[in-house]
Amino acid sequence: MSKSTDELFKNVISHAKEYGFVFPSSEIYDGLSAVYDYGQFGAELKNNIKTYWWKAMVQMHDNIVGIDSAIFMHPKIWKASGHVDGFSDPMIDNKDSKKRYRADQLLEDKIASLIKEAVDEAKNKTNQKYNTRIELEEQIDNEKSTVNLFNEIVSGIDINAGEHRYINTPGGKSEAFNWFTHLILESDYFKKAIEANTKLNEHLKNEDLVGLKDLIIALNIKCPVSGTANWTDVRQFNLMFSTQMGAVADDADVVYLRPETAQGIFVNYLNVQKSGRMKIPFGIAQIGKAFRNEVIARQFIIRMREFEQMEMQYFVRPGTQKEWFNQWKEARLKWHLALGTDAAKYRYHEHVKLAHYADAAYDIEFEFPFGFKEVEGIHSRTDFDLSQHEKFSGKKMQYFDPEVDPETGKPYGNYVPYVIETSIGLDRMFLLTMINAYEEEDLSTEEKQDSRTVLHLHPCLAPVKAAIFPLTKKDGLPEKAREIMDKLKIDFNIQYEEKDAIGKRYRRQDAIGTPFCITVDHQTLEDNTVTIRHRDSMQQERVPADQLDKIIGDLVSWRNLLK
RNA sequence: GCGGAAAUAGCUCAGCUGGUAGAGCAUCAGUUUCCCAAACUGAAGGCCGCGGGUUCGAAUCCCGUUUUCCGCUCCA
C-alpha cells in the first residue's frame, strides 16, 4: 500500500464520519470494537444501494421473489448447515513467534508429514529390495495427496484394486506394490500417525481442548517460525453469537444470531415455492443482517461483527447449475459496472479450494486502497443445503418437474434442486461506493489556490438528490425557494440552505454527493426560472422552475441503472 | 490475541528542559455579498482518553488501562 492510497482510505473514513455517513458504535463510551452505525446520509446511501439491488434482482426478474426471514432460527438449522462445527475452531498461539494457528491444522499437518515419512521409507526399501524404480506420481507426491492416500488406507480401501494411481512401476504393480503397502502399514511412522489421527478426531468430537494441546506436545509439534514448542493453551473461537430465548432464565434455550442470511431462504424454500407456485428455475432474494464473531475484525466497515448481506438463492434443475452459475457470474458484474465504476477496479477471483458444499465458486473483487477484496460471491452450492435440511428436518425438499426431458421423452420428475447463490456484502458495497466516489479535486488557478472534496455518487444512489438555495436571504428569495422545495420534496430527498456564501453551500453539497443544486435569484421572481448546477462539471444551466420535477426525475431515475 | 505507534475544542494540529490551555477551520448571533471555500464584528466551545504515582505544582515525567491506527495470526 502506497502512502497516498493509505492516506486516501483514511480520508474517506474521516470524511464518512465528519459528514454523517458512518459513526463508530457507542462512541461516547469509547466505542465497541468492529461495530459501526450509519448516520443520516449513510442510512440514505445504504437504502439506495439496497433499492438498486432489490429492483435489479426482484423487480426485474419475474421468477425471483424477496423475503425477510427472522434473525433467530431453530438451533438445528446451524447443525444442518455445518456452521456449528465449521464455525468454532480450536486455536493455539506460539509464545515465541506470536503466531496463531488452528490446533487441528497443526495436528493434521504433523500427521501428513508422518505419513510422508512412512511412504518415503517404504519407497526406498522397496526400490532396494526389488532393484526397481518405484516413483510416486508427481500429483500425489506432496503433502495433500499424502493425506488422501492416508485416508484411503485408513478407511480400508484396497489400493491394489485401484488403477496405477499410487505407484508407477515399469513392470506393473504386483509384488513390489504389495510389499510397498505392507511396509507402509507396518511402519512406526504410520502407526503413530493413525494413533494421532484417531485421538485428534476424538478430541475434536468431544471438544477436548486440553487433549488437543496434550497431543500437540506429545507429537513434539514445533512452530514453523520460531521452531519452539512453547505453546499457549488451546482456546475455542466461537464465530457464532448466541443468546437465550425465553423470558425465564432456567427454561431459556440457546439460539444463535444467524451468521448468514442464506439459511433463512433455504428453510423457507418449500413455503415460497408452494405459496408462490414457483416453477424451477426460480430465485429467492433477501436483504438482512448477519453476525459473526470474527477473530480479527478491522479495516473499518469491511469486516464487522454485525453486517448486512444481500443474497439471492437461485434454484435450478440438477445438471444445469454450470450454465446458471456462469449467467449469474456475468449478470452480477454487470450490476456493479452499471454504476459507472472503472471496470479495471473489478476482477473475478476463482476459489481453488472449494467449500464442502460447493462445486464452483467465484468472488467479485474490488480494488480497495488496501488491495483487492471480496465484495460479492457467486457460489454453486449444489443440493447440499436442501439435502441437509431434508435430512435434519425430515421434510421432503423435492420438487416435481413436469417438463419433458428431450433426451428421454419423459418428465424430469422429482429431485432436490441445485442452488446458485449470489451473496454481496452490503457494507462492503457501501464502502466501495464511498471510496470510488471520493475525490479531492484541485481547482487552483494561477491567482488562487482552491480545492474541493466531492463525492461523485451515481445520482440514483446520492442521499440528497438536490439542494435549493436562495442566492441571498432577503428580497423574498427564501420564500420563493421554499415554495419550489415544497413541490419537489414529495418526490425527492431535498435540502434547503440559506446560510453562508453560495460557493460554500455548493461545496458542502459536493461533500455529501448531492448531484444538483438549484439556485433561486432575482430573475426567478421575474420569469420563474432557476439555475441548476451539476455537481461533477460544476456547470450551470437556467431552466424553468416548473420543469424541475421532470428534469431531476429523469436524471435520478432508476431507469438509468436498470435499463 | 501479540508487537509497534498514537490519543489536546466538532475537524486539523501547536503546546520546549514540568509553572493558570492555544491557532486555523467548523459552529452560533449579527454585518456584507447577484453564482463556487477560507470578508468583517462578536460569542460559545476543553476533566489534555481514563486511573494511579512522582512533585509545592503534571497536557508535559513514570506505571497501569481503554480506544484507534499499522503489522502478524483467523476468516465455507
The string of DSSP letters for A190-225 reads: HHHHHHHHHHHHHHHHHT-HHHHHHHHHHTT---TT
Specify the pairing of strand A399-404 against strand A253-256.
unpaired
Q: How far is CA A316 from CA A81, A278, A280, A312, A340, in A?
A: 19, 12, 6, 13, 31
Q: What is the pLDDT of residue A156?
A: 40
Closest CA to A497 of A515, A476, A517: A517
Q: Which nucleotides of B are covered by protein (CB under 7 A)?
A: 1-3, 10-12, 26-29, 33-39, 66-76
Q: How far apart are CA A223 and CA A458, in angstroms?
A: 50
Identify which of A231-240, A290-299, A410-419, A444-453 has the greatest average pLDDT: A410-419
Residue A170: which pLDDT band, with cuts at 50, 70 and 90?
Answer: very low
Q: Is the CB of A370 under 7 A from strand B?
A: yes
Contact A42/A25 with Cβ under 8 angstroms? no
Q: Is the CB of A293 under 7 A from strand B?
A: no
Q: What is the pLDDT of residue A148?
A: 54
Q: How far apart are CA A516 and CA A493, in angstroms?
A: 11
Q: Is the CB of A361 under 7 A from strand B?
A: yes
Q: Is the pLDDT of residue A139 over 60?
A: no
The CB-based long-range contact list for A344-352 (8 Å cut-off, 24+ gap) reads A345/A436, A347/A372, A349/A374
Peptide bond into A75 cis (omega under 30): no
Q: Is the CB of A302 under 7 A from strand B?
A: no
Q: How far is CA A410 from CA A281, A401, A403, A502, in A?
A: 18, 10, 8, 73
For the segment 379-408 of chain A, residues whose CB is within 7 A of strand B: none
For the segment 417-446 of chain A, residues whose CB is within 7 A of strand B: 443
Q: What is the pLDDT of residue A249?
A: 62
What is the grid cell recorded at A83? 456452521
Q: Reduced to 3 states, what is the DSSP secondary structure of residue A556?
A: coil
Closest-lying nucleotide for A25 based on CA to C1': B67
Within 13 Å of residue A469, how many CA atoms lie on the same side as its CB?
A: 23
Q: What number of helices (H) and strands (E) belong to chain A? A: 19, 25
Residue A177: which pLDDT band, with cuts at 50, 70 and 90?
Answer: low
The pLDDT tens digits for A178-223 are 677 777 777 888 888 888 888 887 787 777 777 888 888 888 887 7
For the segment 520-549 of chain A, residues whose CB is within 7 A of strand B: 520-523, 530-531, 533, 538-540
Q: How far apart are CA A556 and CA A52, in angstroms?
A: 12
Q: What is the pLDDT of residue A114?
A: 81
Q: Is the CB of A519 under 7 A from strand B?
A: yes
The pLDDT tens digits for A340-391 are 999 999 999 888 767 777 888 999 999 888 778 889 999 999 999 999 999 9
Residue A525: which pLDDT band, with cuts at 50, 70 and 90?
Answer: very high
Residue A6: which pLDDT band, with cuts at 50, 70 and 90?
Answer: low
Closest-lying nucleotide for A377 based on CA to C1': B76
The string of DSSP letters for A329-376 reads: HHHHHHHHHTTT--GGGEEEEE-SS--TT-SEEEEEEEEETTEEEEEE
Q: How far apart are CA A111 and CA A143, in angstroms?
A: 10
**Assembly ipTM:** 0.82
For the segment 213-232 of chain A, residues whose CB is within 7 A of strand B: none
Contact A288/A71 with Cβ under 8 angstroms? yes
Q: What is the pLDDT of residue A343?
A: 92
Q: Is the CB of A34 under 7 A from strand B?
A: yes
The pLDDT tens digits for A81-115 are 888 766 556 777 766 666 667 777 778 778 777 87
| Of A155-169, A182-196, A334-348, A485-499, minimum mean pLDDT range | A155-169
Radius of gyration of chain A (CA): 31
Closest-lying nucleotide for A85 based on CA to C1': B76
**What average pLDDT does chain A have?**
83
Q: What is the pLDDT of residue A92?
A: 77
Q: Is the CB of A35 under 7 A from strand B?
A: no
Residue A169: which pLDDT band, with cuts at 50, 70 and 90?
Answer: very low
Q: How far apart are CA A118 and CA A141, in angstroms?
A: 13
The string of DSSP letters for A413-473 reads: EEEPPEEEEEEEEHHHHHHHHHHHHEEEEE---SS---EEEEE---TTT-S-SEEEEESSS
Closest-lying nucleotide for A89 based on CA to C1': B74
Amino acid at residue number A387: S
Alpha-helical runs (H) found in A155-187: 175-186
Q: How far apart are CA A537 and CA A553, in angstroms?
A: 19
Q: What's the pTM?
A: 0.80
Chain CA centroid to CA A122, Å: 45
| A484 against A177, higher pLDDT | A484
Within 13 Å of residue A328, how many CA atoms lie on the same side as its CB?
A: 32
Q: What is the pLDDT of residue A295?
A: 61
Q: What is the pLDDT of residue A25?
A: 81
Q: What is the pLDDT of residue A425?
A: 92
| Ligand-binding site membership of A165 (annotated) | no
Q: Report the nearest residue to nucleotide B50, CA vs C1'.
A: A30
Q: How far apart are CA A302 and CA A184, in angstroms?
A: 48
Give the CA A76 to C1' B32 distance in Å. Answer: 71
Q: Which residue has the cell 422429482?
A: A414
| Ligand-binding site membership of A423 (annotated) | yes
Q: Which residue has the cell 503466531?
A: A99
Percent above pLDDT 90 for chain A: 45
For chain A, the residue count is 563
Q: Is the CB of A472 under 7 A from strand B?
A: yes
Q: Is the pLDDT of residue A171 over 70?
A: no
Q: Is the pLDDT of residue A528 over 90?
A: yes
| Ligand-binding site membership of A305 (annotated) | yes
Alpha-helical runs (H) found in A82-142: 83-86, 103-130
Contact A264/A67 with Cβ under 8 angstroms? yes
Contact A213/A233 with Cβ under 8 angstroms? yes
Q: How far apart are CA A455 and CA A15, in angstroms?
A: 10
Amino acid at residue number A294: E
Q: What is the pLDDT of residue A144?
A: 45
The pLDDT tens digits for A396-450 are 999 999 999 998 889 999 999 999 999 999 999 999 999 899 988 888 777 777 7
Q: Is the pLDDT of residue A157 over 60?
A: no
Contact A167/A183 with Cβ under 8 angstroms? no
Q: Reduced to 3 states, what is the DSSP secondary structure of residue A327?
A: helix
Give the CA A448 to C1' B31 distance in Å. Answer: 26
The pLDDT tens digits for A15-62 are 888 888 988 887 777 677 778 888 889 999 999 999 999 999 999 999
For the segment 131-170 of chain A, residues whose CB is within 7 A of strand B: none
Residue A1: which pLDDT band, with cuts at 50, 70 and 90?
Answer: very low
Give the CA A133 to C1' B60 distance in Å. Answer: 77
Closest-lying nucleotide for A508 based on CA to C1': B37
b/e per residue, A113-145, with b = 16+ CB within 10 A? bbbbbbbebbbeebbeebeeebebeeeeeeeeb
- Mean pLDDT score, A142-159: 46
Q: Is the CB of A473 under 7 A from strand B?
A: yes
Percent above pLDDT 70 for chain A: 83
Residue A225: which pLDDT band, with cuts at 50, 70 and 90?
Answer: low
Give the CA A205 to C1' B43 distance in Å. Answer: 69
Q: Is the CB of A36 under 7 A from strand B?
A: no
